[in-house]
Amino acid sequence: MAYDRYSAICNPLVYVMVMSKQFCIFLTCGSCLLGIINSLLNTLPLLRLHFCGPYLIYHYSCEIPELLPLSCTDIFPNKMIFFITLVIYGIGCFFPIMFSYTRIISAILQISSASGRSKAFSTCSSHVIVVTLFFLTGVDRYLSPATGSILEQVISMQYSIVTPLLNPIIYSLKNVEVKVAIKKVWENKRILSGTY
């Protein structure tokens, strides 16, 4: 998404050539492949652990930070793999995204018309906010020790539920056709209920 915005704003004349169907498929498949590799790197070492109990996780999902303290075997190798993959994937994703957005912001600031700047900022600002919330809460959750507190659960809900829900809503509400359809549904609802 960040590269798409970067191409659209910083290189608009070659956008169609750069963001071709093949390149989009490559980006999508690359993201899926990296996600699978990350999952395997962190899940397969869990198979060597033994769990003696208690078998209670004070969380709504079974994530690695909550699972590791329940093991009665040495978890240091798991923690190291977990930390290394977190750093590699976190830095490998966050900094290129932020680099592209700093380039986008510098390109936006060079736009002479105020309406053009406003439109470009509104397109990118929501994505920057969602990405920043996702990374900050995710890194905070995975680097802090598991205590089973309510705050941990709220933070986990932020990056696992709220962020994925916000993205389609934010981007669809920027679409004119979606706005018109929502307005029609709202007006039809008001007419059917008898309130004007």
Instruction: Give the tens place of pLDDT for each residue, 28-79.
Output: 999 899 999 999 999 999 999 998 877 788 777 788 888 888 889 999 999 9
In angstroms, the CA 158 to CA 163 distance is 6
pLDDT at 25: 92
- 32 vs 94, which has greater pLDDT? 32
Average pLDDT of the segment spanning 182-193: 76
State residue 187 phi and psi, 5-degree precision. Answer: -65, -40
- 8 vs 29, which has greater pLDDT? 29
Cα–Cα nearest to 82, from 23, 139, 135: 139
- DSSP SS3 for 174: coil
In angstroms, the CA 140 to CA 191 distance is 47
Cα–Cα nearest to 79, from 146, 165, 177, 11: 146
Instruction: Give the helix ranges, DSSP H, for the chain.
Output: 2-10, 15-18, 21-43, 64-67, 76-109, 114-143, 150-157, 163-173, 176-193
Structure tokens at 48: 């060597």
In angstroms, the CA 87 to CA 90 distance is 5
| pLDDT at 143 exceeding the cut of 60 | yes
Q: How high does pLDDT run on average in the chain?
A: 82
Phi-psi domain of 148 (left: phi exceeds 0; alpha: psi -120 through 50; beta: other): left
